[in-house]
Structure 1
Amino acid sequence: MPPRGCFPVRAPVRAAFGLALALGTAAPVHAQALDKRVPMEPTAWPFTAIGRVNVVRGPAHRGHCTGTLVGPRHVLTAAHCLFDDRLDTWVKPHQVFFVAGQARDRNAGTAEVEAFRLAPGIDLRLATRPHRDGIASEMIGRDWVILTLRQPLALKPVPWLVLAGAELPKSRPGAVVALAGYAADRPYLPVIDHGCAVRIDAPVPGQLTDACESMSGESGAPVLVLDADGGASLVGIHTAVTGGERVGRAYRSGTGRGVAAGSIAAALDAMVRK
């Protein structure tokens, strides 16, 4: 069965974007299902640099994904979050807004988006998908977008780190892998799976496979490596799941999929470090 991608849920503003690259039918989640994610207050870096990417398609078509501030005016997230299924095309920059470090009615900074840069060759048109809510497997490694904010945010960005072929955390002694984002079940407070694992350049170069818990809304969430000395780096972004369990409109991942930092580094260098 072809993979399914994480595409927008047509629902009120409190609903999140879908997150699914599920192979096969997602099974129902039972009340006792283990959830390793825990809510957190984003009061310290790097979590102050992680936020909601809000997208408004119309009065009844709103949603969000998760993005990471990688420069004073640049945010990295999943490209599919900016695709409008109804019009079969990309949204306009003025429809996108970034809220850093949101915690209920508080945040660390907000900014409008004035432009965005998509991955070369990405194509999410309905005619190219295996089915309407699907995503072609060859598009997973291109499922990224860099947002340019209208004004800089006075926050410390998260650096990116290219680790070709790494299996983390075992190939980086003392490090901890974490996935943090704004999930559908807690859309205004981030949740984190602290202590999961990720393989870089798997199943193919430029992609990643993670064993972190996630739900819809966490599309674009950073896969972080947290070092014992307090350092943190983004080694990729989480965009989809395989073998997920259904939780309402969301999926709790069996195996996460996403984009490795190596696929995005050249564009980030050109835009952020220019």
Structure 2
Amino acid sequence: MPAPGRRARPAFVLALALGWATPAAAQVPAPPADKRVPMEPTAWPFTAIGRVNVVQGPAHRSHCTGTLVGPRHVLTAAHCLFDVRLDSWVKPHQIHFVAGQARDLNTGTAEVEAFRLAPGIDLRAAARPAHGSIAPAMIGRDWVILTLRQPLGVRPVPWRVLPNADLPGSRPGAVVALAGYAADRPFLPVIHRGCAARIDAPAAGLLSDLCESMSGESGAPVLLLDADGGAALVGIHTAVTGGTRVGSAYRSASGVGVAAGSFAGALDEMVRK
């Protein structure tokens, strides 16, 4: 889920049965020792990961994590762009991407001129089963591709479709990592290197991970890092499961998201055309 900015209203709280944090989840025991560590994003692919800043109004700001997947395209979670107060999507001019942010430094910034939502996604109150939840059919549609006003001089991260993969087990020598801008370190990325992910689980087009994460990391890339220095995005993390409440945020050692197979066709059309 997005990390709220100062005085921002909390974003949706999504049903635990669907793999999202809920107020009830705050009653579960705290997760084990945090395996996330802060990092300086000076090397690829981390130079291409950044903050997606969303301004809903003067006192309503939030951020998520996004990944540059093309010179002018950023992939993140769709729910980050939904304004619950207005029950509608924000406008492109309300979104700004900062790549490789490390405190007051970054590897590039750009305004957003347009975005492409997953086909059929509907997060309006009328489409949600209860206030603050999301319909099951929307989980695999929780992705959006942002088009930046100008290209960034940063090497993008490629995506890889790995149907039914159990990672890293099915890729000997590879390492799974989740990196993003969490609520507890909003201006410096954190990474859990050496976690695990299952593709097309619990259903086709979805992803489940055993990675430490926190609010603010919605949209963060689930990365497959090869021993030779290669990297690919195999999906995006969109919410924690079994979350423990920490202030206005949630933290967990497991999460759910969208597998690359769900958005690869749109990326092929927009980035590789």
TM-score by length of 2: 0.93
Is 1:123 the equivalent of 2:122?
yes
Residues in 1 aligned to 2:6 and 2:29: alpha-carbon distance in whole angstroms: 21
- Is the alpha carbon distance of 1:102 and 1:19 closer, same or farther for their aligned partners in structure 2, counting shifts above 3 Å? farther
Identity %: 75
Name 1:185's counterpart in structure 2: 184
- Is the alpha carbon distance of 1:235 and 1:262 closer, same or farther for their aligned partners in structure 2, counting shifts above 3 Å? same
Name 1:112's counterpart in structure 2: 111
Residues in 2 aligned to 1:272 and 1:37: alpha-carbon distance in whole angstroms: 31
Aligned length: 267
Name 2:17's counterpart in structure 1: none
- Return 5+ residue gaps in structure 1 as ranges: 1-5
What's the CA shift for 1:149? 0.2
1:136 partner letter: A
Contact 2:2 2:64 in 1 (8 A): no
Contact 2:208 2:257 in 1 (8 A): yes
Residues in 2 aligned to 1:92 and 1:157: alpha-carbon distance in whole angstroms: 24
Name 1:194's counterpart in structure 2: 193
Tell me the SS of whatever aligns to 1:34: coil
Q: Could you list the per-position Cα deviations for residues 189-243 of structure 1 after superposition, in whole angstroms to 9, with x for gaps in the alignment? A: 0000000000000000000000001100000000000000000000000001221
Contact 1:19 1:216 in 2 (8 A): no
Residues in 1 aligned to 2:149 and 2:27: alpha-carbon distance in whole angstroms: 42
Name 1:174's counterpart in structure 2: 173
- Return 5+ residue gaps in structure 2 as ranges: 15-19
TM-score by length of 1: 0.92
Name 2:212's counterpart in structure 1: 213
Residues in 1 aligned to 2:40 and 2:5: alpha-carbon distance in whole angstroms: 28
Is 1:262 the equivalent of 2:261?
yes
Taking only aligned residues, the RMSD between alpha carbons, in angstroms, comes to: 1.9
Residues in 2 aligned to 1:29 and 1:48: alpha-carbon distance in whole angstroms: 35
- Is the alpha carbon distance of 1:107 and 1:42 closer, same or farther for their aligned partners in structure 2, counting shifts above 3 Å? same
- Is the alpha carbon distance of 1:9 and 1:212 closer, same or farther for their aligned partners in structure 2, counting shifts above 3 Å? same
Tell me the SS of whatever aligns to 1:120: coil
2:134 partner letter: I
User: Is the deviation greater in 18-27 or in 205-214?
Assistant: 18-27
Find runs of 4+ consecutive structure 1 residues off by over 4 angstroms.
Answer: 15-20
Name 1:3's counterpart in structure 2: none
Q: After superposition, where does 1:65-104 map in structure 2 within 5 Å?
A: 65-104=64-103
- Is the alpha carbon distance of 1:140 and 1:36 closer, same or farther for their aligned partners in structure 2, counting shifts above 3 Å? same
